[in-house]
Structure 1
Amino acid sequence: MEARRKHPRRPPRARAVIALTTVTLIGGSACGVSTAADGRPAPTPSTGPSATNPVTGPATERADPLPAPDASIPQSPAKFATALTKTTAALNDAIDAWSKQGLPPEDVELLALHQQRLYRHAARHPETASRAFARLEAPLAAQARDNTSAIRGLVSLARPIKPSAVFKVQEPRPAAELLGHFKKAERRFGVEWEVLAAVMFAETKFGRVKSPSYVGAQGPMQFMPATWKAYGLGGDVHDPRDAVMGAANYLRATGAPRDYRRALHAYNPSQAYVDAILKHSRQIKRDPRNYYAYYNWQVFVLTTKGERRLTGP
């Protein structure tokens, strides 16, 4: 984030790095499939119907194979709607079966990646998306519109990087561990954990992005040094727990939870950014499984010669 101190009595204005992080929400060619040697648990097969899915209706046993990381995206609205419905239902079932501890199982990771790629495609093809979403059940249509418009808004702020640029990524901390940090920060500062999760998701895909931004923002919540010094509570900007606490402290100082729009605009002075965070946090509130789905979305970068994926299977 970028601090501005024109008025000493007001908190410095924060600015996150759009070029480095929000472009991770779109585009890119898929990489190869991870092998069994990576130590990940085997996919958990569905053994029968689970509880009713509020987004896609009653869950059913998965008959379709898991999508490959580079599986083709349907081009027609009807087939796209079917693919999004099936992928979201299967992903929710896989999340329900996951213990939420340690590494995500292969089915969660592959289904989340395919869901992410579907939404990226929708963001790039608004006419197809509009016609496809009209075919969806109302809850999934609302989720699809939120995700697609959030991606499209953040991408509008993206700054392509050179293909030769050094871009460091890393494995994120476990989803359960990060969730604990978000909830502790909520208890301490009153900032909703879903909002904090949405910020880390948009900024660095839950800490997968290790490189500093092009303006020097650092850590999983992307702080500029001056802002971190003022609001970081003496912690380590690269430590997920400290970064979450610092972000909650900053958001509280700039208006949250009374006025999230004001606080998020202070974090990043972009209406598109504010809207995206609120839409993603709304989806997590509507169904906590969306937190685990977002956790498994991967890092894509936009370069001057095209898009590419840097993390995941």
Structure 2
Amino acid sequence: MRSTRTAVRALAAPLAVALAVAGCGDLTGSSAGEPGPAAANAAAVSPERDAVLTRPLAGEQPLLPPDPQQLAQYLTVAEDVVRDRAESPARVAAAGWAAQHAYRALHSRPEWQRTVLAALPAPYRKLARHQLRAGEALAKLVSKPATTMPAWRIVEPEPAANLRRYYAAGERRFGVPWEVLAAINLVETRMGRIVGYSTAGARGPMQFMPATWRAYGRGDIDDAHDSILAAARYLAANGGADGTSAGLRRAVRRYNNSEHYVTGVLQYAAVLRADERAYASFHAWQVYYRTRAGDAVLRVGYSSRTTPPAKQWLAEHPEARVRYF
């Protein structure tokens, strides 16, 4: 089991969030985490929230305030919306995009991280540390940005509630924590958003190599339910269900033989373990792709059977070029 190098390049840093989350009102049928510090007020007219959400709701990349203290406030507002059950799914997803755009920007401004973290409310500070560690670890998986665009399709993932049930089934049947299954799904394909045109390498939402699928798969490699259960089966067979952190780390390393990968997956799993409501945000993460010509955000509808030069493609699609401030 391994991830494709191209997929890791795309997922090596914290990503932004897509605009649509189907079925993410109550993701589990039970509590999905407590509201954030400012989420006690039901979704009301709020200039602060509207300032954060207007651009992503319109399908435009968020623009962040060019000051670390203001960025901390921006991120706090976005995280509050994610946890406010009175907010609509579209606004929650837009807030997730804004938050993840902010986390990604913090990787380009490491000198801001201490100031921003100190200014966040304590619950969000803990989650932000996990996310920054995950992004930093995954970024180390790829030494050089790509020179070409990927031969991928970007599609809508299955509804969040469906995937949550599949993760729960994997945990129930094989003893692998649902948070780890979700984190692997997130890192590998952004929960099914990335579909590669090639069938020679890793395939499906959980990125199985053909030989590994023959040993652990049941059903359709491209089906989210079947792929997630196969991942749980594989992880359990490699020590991921023995109840120890060492066993889980060993199993995730078998999934991808990199300590950076293990750290990234387990840090994202720690976010979900600390606050399950973060799943509503993770489910909507958009695909960002690193190239030498600049980073690109690949929205649903991107489709290329070839690998055109990144510089040329970005010149032809300026709306996809990532900018923060």
TM-score by length of 2: 0.77
Q: 1:78: Cα distance to partner?
A: 0.8
Matching residue of 1:130:
114
Counterpart among 23, 26, 40 of residue 59 in structure 1: 40
Q: Percent identity?
A: 34
SS of residue matched to 2:82: helix
Deviation string, structure 1 residues 35-69 (Cα, Å, up to 9, x no partner): xxx9x99xx9xxxxxxx955435533451312413
Query: Alignment length, in residue pairs?
Result: 278
Q: CA separation of 1:62/1:295 partners in 2, compared to 1, >3 Å: closer, same or farther?
A: farther
| CA distance, structure 2, for counterparts of residue 114 and residue 237 of structure 1 | 33
Deviation string, structure 1 residues 52-94 (Cα, Å, up to 9, x no partner): 955435533451312413232123221111111111012211x
Matching residue of 1:106:
90
Amino acid at match of 1:248: A
- Specify every segment of 5 or more residues in structure 1 that has no aligned partner in the other structure, as ranges: 1-13, 45-51, 99-103
Matches within 5 A, 1:227-246: 227-232=212-217, 234-246=218-230
Matching residue of 2:162:
177
Counterpart among 10, 15, 36 of residue 2 in structure 2: 15
Q: 1:292: Cα distance to partner?
A: 1.1
Amino acid at match of 2:6: A
| CA distance, structure 1, for counterparts of residue 6 and residue 35 of structure 2 | 35
Amino acid at match of 1:223: F
Q: 1:19: Cα distance to partner?
A: 3.0
SS of residue matched to 1:250: helix
Q: 1:164: Cα distance to partner?
A: 4.5
| CA distance, structure 2, for counterparts of residue 62 and residue 122 of structure 1 | 29
Amino acid at match of 1:85: T
Q: CA separation of 1:246/1:53 partners in 2, compared to 1, >3 Å: closer, same or farther?
A: closer
Asked whether 1:286 is paired with 2:286, we answer no
Deviation string, structure 1 residues 151-195 (Cα, Å, up to 9, x no partner): 121122135334354221111011111111111111110111111
Counterpart among 142, 145, 153 of residue 137 in structure 2: 153
| CA distance, structure 2, for counterparts of residue 22 and residue 193 of structure 1 | 25
| CA distance, structure 2, for counterparts of residue 74 and residue 176 of structure 1 | 33
Q: CA separation of 1:157/1:215 partners in 2, compared to 1, >3 Å: closer, same or farther?
A: farther
Q: CA separation of 1:27/1:290 partners in 2, compared to 1, >3 Å: closer, same or farther?
A: closer
Asked whether 1:77 is paired with 2:60, we answer no
Give every structure 1 segment of 4 or more consecutive aligned residues whose post-TM-superposition deviation is greater than 4 Å.
Answer: 27-31, 52-55, 212-215
Contact persistence 2:171–2:178 (CA under 8 A)? yes
Q: CA separation of 1:116/1:30 partners in 2, compared to 1, >3 Å: closer, same or farther?
A: closer
SS of residue matched to 2:162: helix
Matching residue of 1:190:
175
Counterpart among 191, 211, 214 of residue 206 in structure 1: 191
Contact persistence 1:151–1:276 (CA under 8 A)? yes
Contact persistence 1:27–1:308 (CA under 8 A)? no
Deviation string, structure 1 residues 107-166 (Cα, Å, up to 9, x no partner): 122111111101101122211012210122221111011111101211221353343542
Deviates more, 1:297-306 or 1:198-207: 297-306
| CA distance, structure 2, for counterparts of residue 89 and residue 196 of structure 1 | 25
- Specify every segment of 5 or more residues in structure 2 that has no aligned partner in the other structure, as ranges: 26-32, 302-325
